[in-house]
Amino acid sequence: MRIGVVSDTHGLLRPEVAPALAGVERILHLGDVGKASILKDLGKIAPVTAIRGNIDREGPCSELPETEVVLIEGRYVYMLHDLKTLHLDPAAGKFAAVLYGHSHVPNFFKKKGVLYFNPGSCGPRRFELPVTVGLLTVGEDGELEAEVVPLRNA
């Protein structure tokens, strides 16, 4: 199973996103959507679960939940926008992963057996940071694996 993970579109869905997410079974948007049309367009690729970020203050995006828990192949995944607002122990909660955005910096690491994954930003470029999306896959051992995918020509 392959899951597309995006964040910080800030109202811009680049044309490079769709090919990068081709074949995913689901898309998780980690906030700072910017425009509801972004979610509609991503929904043409695969079903979308989205949360709101700090810029999603008005309109339909303001009604998105602040956090979300999704089940992927029997593993619980916690979604939030800013990792600094995490107020629970994911390991104690038996989460397999914590997905977050906000910083625009792609990153993944494991802590106490929990995968932490920021796919970076696929919206407007910020400073000299790369423009990226993420892929979350379930390995043969059942563990969740993260991959950062740079968008070419972005």
Give residue-wise pLDDT tens across range 75-127. Answer: 999 999 999 999 999 999 999 999 999 999 999 999 999 999 999 999 999 88
> What per-residue confidence (pLDDT) applies to 142?
84
- Contact 46/70 with Cβ under 8 angstroms? no
Which one, of 38, 27, 40, lies nearest residue 1 by Cα? 27
Distance CA 7, CA 56 (A): 12
Alpha-carbon distance values, 80 to 54, 110, 116 (Å): 11, 17, 11
Domain 2-150 has CATH 3.60.21.10: yes
According to DSSP, residue 121 is labeled B
> What per-residue confidence (pLDDT) applies to 11?
97
**pLDDT for 152 beyond 90:** no
Structure confidence by residue, pLDDT tens digits, 34-58: 999 999 999 999 999 999 999 999 9
| Secondary-structure percent of the chain, ordered helix, strand, coil, rounded to 5 | 10, 35, 55
Q: What is the mean pLDDT of residues 62-81?
A: 97
Q: What is the mean pLDDT of residues 124-138?
A: 94
Alpha-carbon distance values, 73 to 7, 42, 76 (Å): 22, 22, 8
> What per-residue confidence (pLDDT) applies to 60?
96
In this structure, of 15-29, 50-64, 85-99, 139-153, the range with the lowest mean pLDDT score is: 139-153
Q: What is the mean pLDDT of residues 64-82?
A: 97
Predicted TM-score (pTM) of the model is 0.96
**pLDDT for 140 beyond 90:** no
- Contact 33/52 with Cβ under 8 angstroms? yes
